[in-house]
Amino acid sequence: MKALVIDDTVTSATLVCHLLGKMGLEPLHARDGESGIEMFKKEKPDLILLDIIMPGMDGFEVARRVRQLERDGEWTPIIFLSARTGDEDLERGIAVGGDDYLAKPVSEVVLKAKVRAMQRIAQMRYSLLVLTRKLDEANRELTRLSAADGLTGIANRRCFDEALSREWRRAARSGTSISLLVADVDHFKQFNDGYGHQVGDECLKAVARALECQLRRPTDLVARYGGEEFAAILPETDADGAARVAEAMRAAVASLAITHRFSTTAAMVTISVGVASMQPGRADDSGFVGLLQAADRALYRAKHAGRNRSAEAACLESAGYVK
């Protein structure tokens, strides 16, 4: 543990350094404020003992600059050394960033007690910082988990709803298109009943991974919408681009080649996808409900047409948005 002594009086500094050494600390000595500041930046001491009356920069200014140099979360205990023990000096010392006051000539017993007190405070502060970091990490993990589907690991319905509302408003401000895909695993109830829920869960996990792998931009999002249904938000994507992504997702799931002998559509697990694309009006903050309804209707048409395919929503005529 390093202790920086900033004192222009050689005899006083020598005594303090000697006492610090006896306490097991590594003493560093600077003879004026400027060199003390430079040594602080270079050595990063754990404790500063600071004389007040020095030529050039006095101890009050040194303490003020030390506090300015410290980054968020950093704190170096500062004990002032001075023969001036008036109330005003003490008050000013605390105001500029000091933590304690030690009268000259220095008493070994008092110095030892004050250093130990500063060490205890520093240790407690460090423990609080560690605890705070752990709490921050735990909160970040809770936030992540609250946005993730417990089975598939992709975004959950809550995360999807928040993202859709956010991206819709962003599209309205920027005058860009936004697309939405709604996908459903074909004949999944028969799959679940025939192979069992555990196999069904593994199937949903594989489908989720396949869908997520088709996204190419950080702003794109795929989520588990409910049961065997998934949804994808594609900001700044028009109808043609959304149709290509939908087809890529359909092909990706088919390429998994998960056997489905209970399906009347294919011998493997397949999906049907509904596609809707709109350009929100500037004053339209809730039109994403219409976008979602359009994608649902398109999904229904894909199923009605034989499944294992995608279908695009018809052009909506409602005010505030267009296909």
From the candidate CATH numbers 1.20.1050.140, 3.30.70.270, 3.30.300.30, 1.10.3720.10, the one assigned to the domain spanning 157-322: 3.30.70.270
Indicate the angle between helix axes 288-304 and 157-174, nearest 10 degrees: 120
CATH, domain range 2-138:
3.40.50.2300
Q: What is the DSSP letter of 231?
A: E
For residue 140, the one-letter residue type is R
Residue range 228-266, pLDDT digits in tens:
999 999 999 999 999 999 999 999 999 999 999 999 999
Burial 53-83 (b: 16+ CB within 10 A, else e): bbeebebbebbebbeeeeeeeeebbbbbbbe
Residue ranges for the chain with pLDDT beneath 70: 85, 282-286, 314-323
Q: Give yes or no on whether 2-138 and 157-322 have one common fold.
A: no
Q: Are 253 and 271 in contact (CB under 8 A)?
A: yes
Sorted by where each begins, the domain ranges of the chain are: 2-138, 157-322
How much of the chain exceeds pLDDT 90, in percent? 66
Residue range 190-229, pLDDT digits in tens:
999 999 999 999 999 999 999 999 998 999 999 999 999 9
pLDDT of residue 162: 93
The predicted model scores a pTM of 0.60
Q: If you search the block for the tokens 């267009």, which residue do you land on?
A: 322
Distances 107 to 16, 34, 103, 212, 285 between C-alpha atoms, Å: 9, 27, 8, 69, 71
pLDDT of residue 314: 66
